[in-house]
Amino acid sequence: MKKFISFGEHLRALREEISLSLREVADEIGIDPSLLAKIERNERQPTKQLIKQIASFFKTDEKELQNEILSDQIAYKILDEEADLTILKAAEKKVSYYKTIRNG
């Protein structure tokens, strides 16, 4: 069974797996080390462009990283609103509905 971790925890694990410092990775992907540290601590969220750069640097699936970010956002929103998980079923139905509208 997959252990669920946040995007930031996953990013830190990828960095530590190849034994690089925050500064080294930040330099390679072109951002400030303090921003990378905040992303790893889940205090900031990366942009789509930064996710692309991270995926490229770590040679990992960009879509997987995007899914982690979105699932983090959804989980935090549900927690913040003190909603129950039935909201996910309603959201799933709405996504299907909106897809049919978009695709004509």
Please state the pTM of the whole predicted model.
0.81
Give the residue extent of every domain in the chain.
7-102
The band of 2, judged by pLDDT with boundaries at 50, 70 and 90, is low
Q: What is the pLDDT of residues 67-101, one digit of tens each?
A: 999 999 999 999 898 888 898 889 999 999 999 99
Q: Which superfamily, per CATH, for 7-102?
A: lambda repressor-like DNA-binding domains (1.10.260.40)
Q: What is the pLDDT of residues 27-65, one digit of tens each?
A: 999 999 999 999 999 999 999 999 999 999 999 999 999
DSSP string, 5-52: --HHHHHHHHHHHTT--HHHHHHHHTS-HHHHHHHHTTSS---HHHHH
- Angle, alpha carbons 82-75-62 (nearest 5°): 165
